[in-house]
Amino acid sequence: MKNANLIIACPKGRLESKIVSMLKRKGLEFERDFFNESSRKLTFNTNFKNIKIIKLKPSDIRAYTMLGAADIGFVGYDDILENSDNNIVLLNKTKIGKCRLSIASNKKKIDFAEKKIFKVATKFKNITEKYFEEKNIQIEIIKLNGSIELAVKYGVADLIVDLVESGQTLKQNHLFENIIINNNISTVSISSYYAYDLKKDLIKKLII
């Protein structure tokens, strides 16, 4: 009965402790090695014999969940918006990592009539293309992987599309948050349809 096991993928790093606390509130206890940074264990036990935990880089959790290596994964809602996949079941939206996805620039107000094509730097190519296409505004995407907020200063983009939490990073880089594209980003729990179908009862008990 291998399928009776439920594997939860927990993201390493910034949001790890918050997700662990949330799982604890649901009644899960983690084996001590989980909190030992130097442990080379891959799978950690919990107080439930059939529930195991794995730790992954946040950006790999969606892939591992889709591929069946995890039954429940925690990812940013932005990850789901950007990489929509028919095989994803969105289980629950948490209040962890709340932020918004916004357009920012070095101007208080963007005048979209000012240019024919706007250069937009972002990690979120698909969301950005979709947004501007719907608004009928021509853009060229500058796909970056980090420090998006530098792109305007360095002159490679007119606008950026990025996650905004407190707004401090924008302020420090003299950028204005012009338009909120999505005000409702936070960590969500996901499953694949395959795992959900097979382990619905256990998943529902734990997550919802």
Give the rounded distance of the alpha carbon of 89 from its chain centre.
15
Check if the beta carbon of residue 189 is closer than 8 Å to that of residue 73.
Answer: yes
Q: Which is nearer to a copy of itself, 64 or 176 (CB)?
A: 64
Please, what's the b/e burial string for 40-51 (b: 16 or more CB within 10 A of its CB; e: otherwise)? eeeebbbeeeeb
**What is the residue-wise DSSP string for 17-70?**
HHHHHHHHHTT--B-GGGG-TT---SSEEBSSTTEEEEEE-GGGHHHHHHTTS-
Shortest Å, Cβ 172 to a copy of itself: 7
Told to check if 194 binds a copy of itself by CB under 8 A, we report no
Q: Which is nearer to a copy of itself, 81 or 150 (CB)?
A: 150
Shortest Å, Cβ 95 to a copy of itself: 26
Q: How many CB atoms lie within 10 A of CB 182?
A: 16
Q: Which is nearer to a copy of itself, 145 or 166 (CB)?
A: 145
Q: Which two tokens stand for residue 48?
A: 């439930």
Tell me the torsion sign for CA atoms 4, 66, 85, 157: positive
Shortest Å, Cβ 134 to a copy of itself: 26
DSSP strand pairing (118-122 vs 159-164) = parallel
Q: Which is nearer to a copy of itself, 92 or 173 (CB)?
A: 173
Q: Tell me how far apart the alpha carbons of residues 127 and 197 are, in angstroms, rounded to a whole number.
A: 29
Shortest Å, Cβ 2 to a copy of itself: 11
Q: Site size for a copy of itself, by CB under 8 A?
A: 24
Q: Which is nearer to a copy of itself, 156 or 180 (CB)?
A: 156
Counting beta carbons within 10 angstroms of the beta carbon of residue 129, is it exposed (0 to 12), middle (13 to 18) or buried (19 or more)? middle
Interacting residues with a copy of itself between 109 and 168 (CB under 8 A)? 142-147, 150, 153-156
Q: Which is nearer to a copy of itself, 63 or 198 (CB)?
A: 63
Interacting residues with a copy of itself between 28 and 87 (CB under 8 A)? 40, 42, 54, 56-57, 59-60, 63-64, 67-69
* Binding stretches for a copy of itself (CB under 8 A): 40, 42, 54, 56-57, 59-60, 63-64, 67-69, 142-147, 150, 153-156, 172
